[in-house]
Structure 1
């Protein structure tokens, strides 16, 4: 009987813990929604990210695009880059538009958002969105590395090793 009571108490604690975490996520969502409605771009981007990655809400690519776009329009470069990535993957029925994607990455990089530079480097290295150009890839990876994007630093090191051989 004691074991059953302990199990029931444990289940009750687990349930209330889950409810508390769910309400915290809901509160986080609504706090960001209010900030987004007041014109804070980073809050719009955060909501887009929640929809994109199904964090506290159901995954919804259309809502992710909507909020990333709002964030980007409000000069949040993370929103612009995430929108570019979704566009590149043709999520939410977006038709691939290489020029628009490159504009999003370029603007973010010019605003010193490291991941914008990183994705420019990747684009130039792979040659899928724009003509392949390893010197430009290296340049943008190097800039992203200086903006503390660790994956870009790894690519710079790999480029350096390749050029030594």
Structure 2
């Protein structure tokens, strides 16, 4: 049982890094200084300097950079550079989803579909948030929605999505 949990956690960590790289293509129009700070935060994350990444993403999020807010949620979600807090991650993702930012909805769906993030899997809430993400034009949310909709017993270790770049149209 412990070995299975170890592999699940390891897989989730690897998926975090993978998702971080995939979502790097996302963009918002920010001043050059903000982009440099974002890039520095990404570099810090890639170098596993999570305290610096946390500080930079936190600052950018407070200044309205929604991509940085998502990444801050991921850091809280995993306890990178800060105390691990599903509650703070949830609040960040919920705020993004309420603003019709698809990645926030996807990440909420992922939280509800994973036993590691919530006490019990809530399939209906996961389906609802994946559906909202899909409505807001997130391909991965549409894929998860379809998967959950097809299988009544499907439980996922769906990982949250990290964004590596401010230059993309799909978040």
- Name the CA shift for 1:68/1:128 in 2 (closer, same or farther; >3 Å): same
Instruction: Output the CA distance in 2 between the equivalents of 1:109 and 1:134.
Output: 18
Larger radius of gyration: 1
Match for residue 33 of structure 2?
35
Pairwise CA RMSD: 2.4
Q: Which residues of structure 2 form unaligned runs of 5+?
A: 1-29, 153-171
CA contact (8 A) 1:45 1:70 kept: no
SS of the equivalent of 1:126 reads: coil
In structure 2, how many angstroms separate the alpha carbons of the residues matched to 1:108 and 1:100?
13
State whether structure 2 residue 135 is matched by structure 1 residue 146: yes
Structure 2 match to 1:114: 102
Of residues 67, 75, 84, the one that matches 1:78 is 67
- 1:20-79 CA-partner distances (Å, limit 9, x unpaired): xxxxxxxxxxxx89623xxxxx6643432232135xxxx522221111101110122211
In the alignment, structure 1 segments of 5+ residues that lack a partner are 1-31, 37-41
- 1:77 and 1:111 in contact (8 A); partners too: no
Find the residue that maps to 2:116 and give its secondary structure.
Answer: coil
More helix by percentage: 1
Aligned to 1:6: none
TM-score of the pair, normalised by structure 1: 0.65
Aligned-partner SS, 1:47: helix
* Residues 147 and 162 of structure 1, relative CA distance in 2, 3 Å threshold: same
1:15 aligns with none
